[in-house]
Amino acid sequence: MNDVSPRIKPTARLHVPRLRGLRRERGDAESGTTGVARLDGKTKKLTKRLEPGDIAIIDHVDLDRVSAEALAACDVAAVINVARSISGRYPNLGPQILVEAGIPLIDDVGPDVFAKVREGDRVRVDGGALICDDQVVAKGIRQTEETVEAAMTEAKAELPAQLEAFAANTMEFLKRERDLLLDGVGVPDVTTDLDGRHVLIVVRGYHYREDIATLRPYIREYRPVLIGVDGGADALIEAGYRPDMIVGDMDSVSDEALTCGAELIVHAYRDGRAPGLKRVHDLDRKAVVFPAAGTSEDIAMLLADDRGATLIVAVGTHATLVEFLDKGRAGMSSTFLTRLRVGSKLVDAKGVSRLYRSRIKGSSLLLLVAATLVAMIVAIVSSPAGDAFAPVVADKWHQFVYWLTGLFT
């Protein structure tokens, strides 16, 4: 493989959200782009403290779509990647999102940048170079739509090998976790009552915000048990809900969510090690430990199914082969088997916001309100009680006009 990290373009052009301010020019290879450096080896942690105009320095092989969308939403000035944003293993979608959003992406600068640049340093990106204190501290490959397209084409050739590896991982997982998958052996007891209820599982994945908003009528009517998977708990809180249960390794969920009163289920390794348990105890919270080899979204589904949920609605979870690969984990094969295990109980809400839109326009609602007010006024005026109400209504109207006039004087 050559030094240019492969970039791949899907057959259908990826839709990139038009985030405000991301299409403006951020500087070119000659003039450069300047900003405050923010560094972290984990992209999902870094996005929590990024401000518009910052330069994000990450270490992320095969930059996935969710991470790229999070970086773009932070309105960063540029992204510097220690690793290759496209290694060529498969056509990951993250780099294309950044370059199409007009965000400079510098690849493969090497790990030394973490020692040469400190958090908060003022740095400049010029071409493929990162400059700090007038010194070039790192050099890499500046990605463009053309280089991404070429790399994506190369990576597509690796898909058959990835598919074979995925199938092998699936069989291995089935051998190790067949008791859990088939009989529910190892599912812990929880205090939250799931028996006979609907369960809504939220993962901070593709289009999760839009799908939660579209599901508001469903949530209001059925009142499902709300389960947030790690950062999915924060997604529920941002939407105005309190999660009933939080499941995960607790590395990407906020302290606010962990202390909101939800029951905590810490995802542990198969041998019982649970690194996230210390954080829970530091917050003086109790938790149930669930050892399993799959992903946190898998154990949330298995828990809901085993504890008697009648329907499981999933938001932001992974459902396709490309999404499994884009997650960057060989263990994503567990999700495939988990979906087979849960079966007809599972309803995937992915993309429901794009499939369904309310057909009631805002202007129609305003017209309805106005017509109702007119009808009420006519009814009052034409009734015998109208003479009694008229002075009161007139007084309130004059008070409103006086208040409104005072805003502009």
Same domain, 275 and 380: no
Same domain, 115 and 221: no
The pLDDT, as a whole number, for residue 358 is 52
Residue 371 lies in a domain: yes
Residue 89 lies in a domain: yes
Predicted TM-score (pTM) of the model is 0.62
Both tokens assigned to 91? 């056509």
How far is 60 from 48, CA to CA, in rounded Å?
16
Domain count, the chain: 3
Same domain, 75 and 166: no
* Residues whose CB is less than 8 angstroms from the CB of residue 374 and which lie 6 or more positions away in sequence, other chains included: none
Same domain, 75 and 222: no
Residue 208 lies in a domain: yes
Q: What is the pLDDT of residues 17-67, one digit of tens each?
A: 444 333 334 444 445 899 999 999 889 889 989 999 999 999 999 898 888
Q: Considering all CA atoms of the chain, what is the largest pairwise distance in Å, rounded to the nearest integer?
A: 89
Q: Is 18 left (phi over 0), alpha (psi -120 to 50) or beta?
A: beta
The pLDDT, as a whole number, for residue 344 is 79
Q: What Rg value do the Cα atoms of the chain yield, rounded?
A: 26
Residue 28 lies in a domain: no
How far is 409 from 404, CA to CA, in rounded Å?
9
The pLDDT, as a whole number, for residue 339 is 79
Residue 17 lies in a domain: no
Residue 14 lies in a domain: no
Same domain, 145 and 165: no
The pLDDT, as a whole number, for residue 269 is 86
Among candidates 118, 200, 141, which has minimal Cα distance to 7?
Answer: 141
What sections of 313-361 are H helices per DSSP?
Answer: 321-326, 333-342, 352-355
Same domain, 147 and 184: no
The pLDDT, as a whole number, for residue 117 is 94
| CB contact at 8 A, 211 and 353 | yes
Domain extent for 145: 33-154
Residue 108 belongs to a domain with what CATH number? 3.20.19.10
Same domain, 208 and 129: no
Q: What is the DSSP letter of 254?
A: -
Q: In a 10 Å sphere around its CB, with 0-12 CB exposed, 13-18 middle and 19+ buried, how is residue 133 labelled?
A: exposed
Same domain, 125 and 88: yes
Same domain, 264 and 303: yes
Using 50 as the pLDDT threshold, list the residues of the chain that sit under it. 1-30
Give the end of a domain, one of 106, 128, 154: 154
The pLDDT, as a whole number, for residue 21 is 39
Return the half-sphere exposure (C-beta side, CA atoms, 13 A cut-off) of residue 137: 22
Same domain, 214 and 236: yes
Same domain, 227 and 132: no
First to last CA, the chain: 70
The pLDDT, as a whole number, for residue 401 is 64
Residue 214 lies in a domain: yes
Residue 13 lies in a domain: no
Same domain, 49 and 138: yes
